[in-house]
Amino acid sequence: MAGYLTSDTRKVTTHRLTEMKQRGEKISMLTAYDYTMAQIVDGAGMDVILVGDSASNVMAGNVTTLPITVDQMIYHGKSVVRGVKRALVVVDMPFGSYQADLSDGVRNAIRMMKETHADALKLEGGEEFVDVFRKIIAAGVPIMGHLGLMPQSINKYGTYGVRAKEEAEAEKLVRDAHLLEEIGCFSVVLEKVPAELAARVASELTIPVIGIGAGGGVDGQVLVVADMLGMTKGFSPKFLRRYADLNTVMTDAIGKYVADVKSCDFPNESEQY
Ligand code: KIV
């Protein structure tokens, strides 16, 4: 099999991610939303599998991540966990599940952990949400933070452009990242921020910083699986590297099947009982 196959089959833990940062080993992270894909991603040696709320876009065809619900994230989370042996599985808390009310947030977090059997949750936001983050961590739930471009706030920004280009926003991001480390988050995702700023954050924090569109100076990288496999079309941000053209491969294969059915080539005698 091609690619990076680790001989280390021990389950990845939040503690092991910190050790990886300490010894300078980069952390690989990719999304998955279903059992079959999770088995493939885990089998290829991924360190962290993110059940991202990008499921709202990729699986459900919504324009934003906002509509996806706690029940739907639990469904995706459970499906992924069943397919994973080694990777750390992190599930996104969806929009509205922790922003409105503190006890609601803690209850939703506990429910998501209980029902998915995931290892951790990811939450977007900084200073504004530290109270609920603290309570969730106190309840025993490991949190991965998410700063920079936070897609759940897209209606506030009005654009998916690069964040923290101006000094004031960059300084707030640095403060937020430190705050997340102080309150006990085990890691932080930085999305679409200047590479220099992301590298600064990674060098100042002891917890791993995972980037998406944040350059190579961070402790690890995350991409959306459907994008990096070339299943999606028409989404080509600068940071996205496509490792395959599955859209073409799948369309060709499915087109051949259609033609074989139409021409009575499928099934043949050896494909029947
Ligand atoms: O939902 C998601 O896929 C994410 C990644 C882009 C980090 O949050």
Structure token pair of residue 163: 């964040």
Q: Give CA–CA dist 46/32, Å, rounded.
A: 11
Single-letter amino acid code for the residue at 169 = E
Give CA–CA dist 69/245, Å, rounded.
30
- Is pLDDT above 90 for 20? yes
Decide: 190 and 162 in contact? Cβ < 8 Å. no
Mean pLDDT across the chain, nearest whole number? 97
Residue range 153-169, pLDDT digits in tens? 999 999 999 999 999 99
- Please count the other Cβ atoms lying within 10 Å of the Cβ belonging to residue 9: 8
Q: What is the pLDDT of residue 234?
A: 87
Over 80: is that where the pLDDT of 248 sits? yes
- For residue 1, pLDDT over 70 is answered with no
Question: Which residues surround ligand 1 with Cβ inside 6 Å?
Answer: 31, 50, 52-54, 92, 189, 191, 212, 222, 224
Please say if the pLDDT value at position 7 is more than 80.
Answer: no
- Rounded average pLDDT over 245-259: 98
- What is the number of other CB atoms lying within 10 angstroms of the CB of residue 84? 23
Ligand 1 atom index nearest CA of 92: 1
Element of type H or E holding 84: none
C-alpha span between 248 and 231 (Å, rounded)? 8
- Give the model's confidence band at 116: pLDDT under 50 very low, under 70 low, under 90 confident, else very high: very high
Average pLDDT over every residue of 24-36: 98
Residue 191 falls in the annotated catalytic set: yes
Is residue 38's pLDDT more than 80? Answer: yes
Residue 16 CA to residue 7 CA, distance in Å, equals: 15
The one-letter amino acid code at 254 reads I
